Structure 1
Amino acid sequence: MKNFLFSILFFVVCMLTAYLSNAQTRVDPAASDDDADIPSFIKNKPAKDAYLKAREDNINTIRGLPWTLPYNPRVKAINEMKIQEQKNALNRSFLVQSPSWVELGPSPIPNGQTQGVVNAVSGRTVCIAIHPTNPSMVYVGTANGGIYRTVDGGTNWTQIFDGGQSLSIGALAISPSNPSTLFVGTGEADLSADSYAGVGLYRIDNADVAPTLVGPINPLVTTGIANTSAFSARAISKILVDPANGNNIYVSTTSAQIGNPGGAPSGTIPIIALKGIYRSTNALSTLGSIAFTKLTVTATGSVAPDVTGNTNVTDMVMEPGNPDNITCWVYGFTSEGGIWHTTNASAITPTFTQTLAIAASIRGSLTIVQQGTGPSSVVLYAATGESASGTSCTTGSGAVRKSRDGGVTWSAKLQGGGGFCGGQCFYDLPIAVSPVDSLTLLLGGSALGTCSSIMKRSTDASATFIDKGNGLHADEHVIAFAPSDATIAYTGNDGGIFKSTTGGTTWNSINTAGFSATQFQSIAVHPTNTSLTIGGTQDNGTNAIKSDNSPFRVDFGDGGYAAIDQNGGAVNATIMYHTYFNQTNNLIGFASTILGETATEGSPSWKLYGCGGTANGITCSDATLFYAPLVLGPGSPVNNVYFGTNKLYRSVDTGIVMTVVSQTMATTISSIAISKQNDNVRIVGLSNGNVFATVTGVSPLIAVTPPIAAARAVGRVAIDPTNADVAYVT
């Protein structure tokens, strides 16, 4: 390949991912047609935990995770951006040349994938904090969209955290003694495929009127290991604030995705922090002076020479009126899993006792209420990911337990609620008890199935539950009653934020103006009407912004890559493509439509080509990424279609027939680029960091990996649209 003249400029911005291995498909018995992730036409639905893990691997590929540098590269980039913004502000002539960005939406998606009725949706919502005396003032944290505030019960929303160094949120807590103070835990603690680590804690002063961000707060702490920080590369799962003194706060942490649980950058302490519970007694101080102490819940999992433990604490509750009494859930890997309780949380060295032992790798969540006085007045419930055996419904997983003595002793599994979270209890198991009635519970799960439900309600202390998921999106993450009005409740799931004014018996979407939490995976633009765009989203299908600038979901499932034929055509007669998820021996391919922006979900608007759909030459046994890359190359009257597994495929007839145009690669293709000038000029990047190319359109492709390339997944390859000799690789 003597005449190959590519000038490759290699920027190492992506550091690592694992490619999706050829996992065997198993059918999930709790799978439901109401699961917004997985299209209903899939015959062999993958187990949801494997599905989410596969999605994580692919997203990590794109984001270049985990990083192995001695610093957080995202934080470094944000700091450099702020310096550049300051320089720009002083140089107005330069600002004139800068692009002006306008948000297009969707805000919200009007036709969400919701149970029973069609409601507006947005993106994954994971935590909620409601003002103690004003049920219309609510703060909402999202998976990767920051924090939103409403002062009118959800009619309008304001983003208040755009200046944060991480928009991945795990916990919110209002200071009861000063409700204008909001504590924010960054890093999503859902232990899911794409729950990302944060940068520590923030305090927002005057959060209700004029928010001022203080943070990130991530001080060094004294442990058995020198230079250990409190929150580096972790997610914050819960924040508890002493109701009488906002200086005293407790913060619990878990693993998060800079790698799978426990696999954060380089996997060493320090760089990453020890997991567990941290306490501060000066949380209202200036940024540089706020200190934390690591508490010992259980010494299990300690990293020598430290003895304070290193385990995921997924939830905590504080006894009303007694901040010394704290109960927490430990997601254990051996015998430490289950519920732990302390009665001296403010002591120099608090003592925690395990009050309920649970098998390894079982997640749980807690809720608490006090009614009356005396030893039995403090009631707790635990939603757990245990087997449903012993309950009234035994398909899938999920159970509810109860404590009548403040968390000291626990019941056996209660009859109601069995199997509520189906096959993904590590991800969907929020629970909330009414602040005025210890018999009334709301229980969140995955999707409607034999025993599972998006939302269940009990009025008899979990003896029985009734499905109340109508109108909600699948995958519940948080439920909260308004402290001052038990008829009002809010819930967050993979479709955004919803509200009940009937104590949880009915639900309405409040994904309204200003709430923009949808997580896009891709975007494509019409060649002549640039208002028309489509893009794939996490758990919310493939969405369009139409030529009249209105948003609309045009297909279901978990959207991946999207493309629009660049030969033009009327907006209602344009060829468009998108991918769902991809899995070896189950589903590998893409869908296409000729209806442009008038397409609606499923058949006949969209036709699926490939393994699992209409056969077109794509082999079911190929190794593939979860979001397998799809791009278009030049061609008339239709663009050529390219699709990547561990082979490069090409079609000249909109995907009806796909032909292999490369050798079988050693691993999966993570990115494809085709020259706009010459369809024979093609580059592919692989999940192992290698790069292959051809300038003649022949197979096999030739290795052109830059000599300085690391053995990391290629995030993106691109060819200069005006010069086919120039290519870029990230």
Structure 2
Amino acid sequence: MRRNPVLGRCLFVIVAAAAAANALRAQTPVKTDADYLRKGYETYRSMLEASPYRQASWQYLGPKNISGRATDIAVADRPSGRRIYAAYATSGVWKTDDNGATWQSIFDQMPTTSIGDVAVSTSNPETLWVGTGEANIFRASMTGVGIFKSIDGGQTFTHMGLSDTQTIGRILVHPTDPDVVYVAASGHEWTDNENRGVFKTADGGKSWNKVFYKSPRTGAWDMVMDPANPEVLYVSMWQRVRRKWSDPRVEPGYTEGGVFKTTDGGRTWAEASAGLPAPEHRGRIGIDIARSNPKVLYAFVDNYEPGRPPQENEVDAYTRPIHEARIKAAEVYRTEDAGATWRKVSDSNEFMTRHSGTYGWVFGQIRVDPTDENTVFTMGLGLNVSKDGGKTFATFANSRTIHSDHHGLWIDPKNTQIIYSANDGGFYQSEDAGAAWRFAVSAGGSQFYNIALDPSSPAWAYGSIQDIGSRRGKVDLSQGRDKIPGVDWEDAPGGEGSHHAVDPKNPNIVYSHGFYGNFTRTDLSVPAPQRGRGGGGAQQPSATPPAPDGPRRSTSIR
């Protein structure tokens, strides 16, 4: 299967959109809202159609062995068979009609390819809703331009508004009326804005009403619907803004986060947070409802209440020393009376403290087994499960064999052995309750931070990839410039978020510089030290270290 290169396309679109924006700027006052940017993209499309190079096509160089961060999953069980949709942080929406054997990109020619959530109408499985703008608010997250709708299974899409929400955390479609849709909009990542909260349409997206709202800094993040009564919904609200110098935090004076409930389809709402941590400690909250017993819900709370003191030499995810008390962080709460009262059920132990590292604001997802109210999954650095109603958690089955940093999970309500996972590595599926997993390596696209080429022939392309590190792939022109094959990419100097520069006279010399100040010179002509175990399990001897004045493969530059 041939696919478009996400990186190349993004670079081209950025340049073209900038040109289009300049053209618009001469006609209208400068704006930064999403409608302005979306119109700029439409101008770019018009320019492309008029270009003498419009027939030129991008060629996919790879990596063929790496995918990218997936954010959500939706399933359409159609008369002709199951279709799976996988949404990605920067590479749009992909679909498979053959249980993951092949994948097709369906959202790459759009104003944005950053996806927050996808949802299928159960009463009309050809209707697909796509909420743009990843809601996990990484520094590398891209903003969206609202919500799109397809009524033909993803062949075509129509923009249906909510342009300036920028991030969308959840979409819920009424089970019997496909025109009724609810959207949990989390809002701008870096600034305050009023286009956040819960929005509802009753006419298939032609018009929207903001049915629940707190303030310009408090967005809606997760939302569930009572399977027995679609007029009953629960939403989690989170008050936050991302500062330029720090990850999002609960700041002094924050009191608006929590869980809220409506019993009349969004006309009125009441707080349903009794028993959760105090408002000033509530970070991101994920919620889910037990379909087997809708009075039971679970809340996965990132609790900012101070917890244990730091351990000796303890560091955070960025290797910075931790001097203050760790927050209590990942906690699971349960209600058995439809949100009237909550009680903490998870243990306060090291497993939960480290559940989400030091960045629980990235995760915040929880799922309840659709047939068992006491089997609960939480997503953090790992994929975890509790089989005793949230009291104790452990790593789920063989999920250590798949990529870490989990953002989405779908459990088949008719066969709970079938599980689909969305994480920083991409999309994975299991048909035996996690004993074995299949990776959708041909879906999605690696999230590149930057790219560089060396002067060799054939050239090597270098890049750093989100949560993967630095890789390089060969640009093989031997079959002609119009037949460049995609290839697997191999390890390269540097790490995640590194910039690369290659010596123009000696392509073996590669300089890499990371986000956190590490600066390295690598000589690829010097063999790398042998590490790990051989195929037979015998311990491999380490390479003889170079003499003090001998050649070194890597040298740190201070």
Aligned residues of 2:187 and 2:195 also touching (Cα < 8 A): no
Please, which runs of 5 or more residues in structure 1 have no aligned partner? 1-10, 15-66, 89-93, 110-121, 219-229, 263-271, 285-289, 303-309, 447-453, 612-730
Report deviation, 1:404: 1.6
Report what 1:239 is aligned to.
Answer: 171
Report deviation, 1:418: 2.7
Aligned residues of 1:195 and 1:256 also touching (Cα < 8 A): no
Report deviation, 1:104: 0.9
Taking the TM superposition and a 5 Å limit, the aligned residue runs for 1:457-536 are: 457-468=385-396, 469-504=399-434, 506=435, 508-513=437-442, 515-536=443-464
**What percentage of aligned pairs have identical amino acids?**
26
Report deviation, 1:541: 0.6
Q: How many residues align?
A: 467
- Aligned-partner Cα distance in 2 for 1:131–1:479: 15
Aligned residues of 1:387 and 1:398 also touching (Cα < 8 A): no
Report what 1:171 is aligned to.
Answer: 117
Deviations 1:342-365 (A, max 9, x none): 11125xx32333334543450011
Q: CA 1:581/1:473 → structure 2, altered by over 3 Å: closer, same or farther?
A: farther
Q: Which amino acid in structure 1 is aligned with residue 292 of structure 2?
A: Q
Report what 1:295 is aligned to.
Answer: 211
Secondary structure at 2:204 match in 1? coil
The structure with the larger Rg is 1
**175-184 or 485-494: bigger deviation:** 485-494
TM score, norm. by length of structure 2: 0.76
Taking the TM superposition and a 5 Å limit, the aligned residue runs for 1:54-453 are: 69=32, 74-88=37-51, 94-95=52-53, 99-109=56-66, 122-132=67-77, 137-207=83-153, 211-215=155-159, 217-218=160-161, 230-257=162-189, 260-262=190-192, 273-283=194-204, 290-297=206-213, 300-301=214-215, 311-332=218-239, 334-345=254-265, 349-356=267-274, 358=277, 359-360=279-280, 362-371=283-292, 377-386=294-303, 397-415=329-347, 418-419=352-353, 420-446=355-381
Deviations 1:299-350 (A, max 9, x none): x426xxxxxxx6211100001031111011111362221111111125xx32
- Aligned-partner Cα distance in 1 for 2:17–2:96: 40
- Aligned-partner Cα distance in 1 for 2:46–2:527: 41
Report deviation, 1:568: 5.3
Report deviation, 1:132: 4.7
Q: CA 1:494/1:261 → structure 2, altered by over 3 Å: closer, same or farther?
A: farther
Report deviation, 1:274: 2.5
Deviations 1:156-195 (A, max 9, x none): 2111101221111101111010111111101111133232
- Aligned-partner Cα distance in 2 for 1:102–1:320: 46
Q: Which amino acid in structure 2 is aligned with residue 511 of structure 1?
A: A
Report deviation, 1:283: 1.1
- Aligned-partner Cα distance in 2 for 1:601–1:528: 28
- Aligned-partner Cα distance in 2 for 1:173–1:99: 34
Secondary structure at 2:401 match in 1? coil
Q: Which amino acid in structure 2 is aligned with residue 335 of structure 1?
A: T
- Aligned-partner Cα distance in 2 for 1:324–1:153: 33
Q: CA 1:607/1:256 → structure 2, altered by over 3 Å: closer, same or farther?
A: farther
Report deviation, 1:488: 1.2
- Aligned-partner Cα distance in 1 for 2:526–2:115: 36
Q: Which amino acid in structure 2 is aligned with residue 350 of structure 1?
A: T
Report deviation, 1:544: 1.1
Is 1:546 the counterpart of 2:474? The answer is yes
Secondary structure at 1:323 match in 2? strand
- Aligned-partner Cα distance in 1 for 2:331–2:474: 44
Is 1:456 the counterpart of 2:399? The answer is no
Q: Which amino acid in structure 1 is aligned with residue 519 of structure 2?
A: G
Aligned residues of 2:426 and 2:441 also touching (Cα < 8 A): no
Q: Which amino acid in structure 2 is aligned with residue 301 of structure 1?
A: S
Q: Which amino acid in structure 1 is aligned with residue 352 of structure 2?
A: G
Q: CA 1:415/1:588 → structure 2, altered by over 3 Å: closer, same or farther?
A: closer
Secondary structure at 1:384 match in 2? strand
Q: Which amino acid in structure 2 is aligned with residue 189 of structure 1?
A: A
Q: CA 1:479/1:608 → structure 2, altered by over 3 Å: closer, same or farther?
A: farther
Deviations 1:6-53 (A, max 9, x none): xxxxx9959xxxxxxxxxxxxxxxxxxxxxxxxxxxxxxxxxxxxxxx
Deviations 1:47-91 (A, max 9, x none): xxxxxxxxxxxxxxxxxxxx9546655424321221123324xxx
Q: Which amino acid in structure 1 is aligned with residue 432 of structure 2?
A: T
Report what 1:451 is aligned to.
Answer: none
- Aligned-partner Cα distance in 2 for 1:85–1:198: 22
Report what 2:538 is aligned to.
Answer: none
Report deviation, 1:551: 1.9
Report what 1:43 is aligned to.
Answer: none
Over aligned residue pairs, what C-alpha RMSD do you find?
3.2
TM score, norm. by length of structure 1: 0.59
Deviations 1:348-384 (A, max 9, x none): x323333345434500111112226xxxx53211111
Secondary structure at 1:474 match in 2? coil
Q: Which amino acid in structure 2 is aligned with residue 434 of structure 1?
A: D
Secondary structure at 2:145 match in 1? strand
Aligned residues of 1:242 and 1:248 also touching (Cα < 8 A): yes
Secondary structure at 2:144 match in 1? strand
Report what 1:579 is aligned to.
Answer: 513
Q: Which amino acid in structure 2 is aligned with residue 295 of structure 1?
A: V
Q: CA 1:441/1:245 → structure 2, altered by over 3 Å: closer, same or farther?
A: same
- Aligned-partner Cα distance in 2 for 1:370–1:516: 31
Q: CA 1:73/1:501 → structure 2, altered by over 3 Å: closer, same or farther?
A: same
Report deviation, 1:403: 1.5
Deviations 1:663-691 (A, max 9, x none): xxxxxxxxxxxxxxxxxxxxxxxxxxxxx
Deviations 1:441-460 (A, max 9, x none): 221112xxxxxxx1212211
Aligned residues of 1:330 and 1:338 also touching (Cα < 8 A): yes
Report deviation, 1:246: 0.5
- Aligned-partner Cα distance in 1 for 2:201–2:526: 56
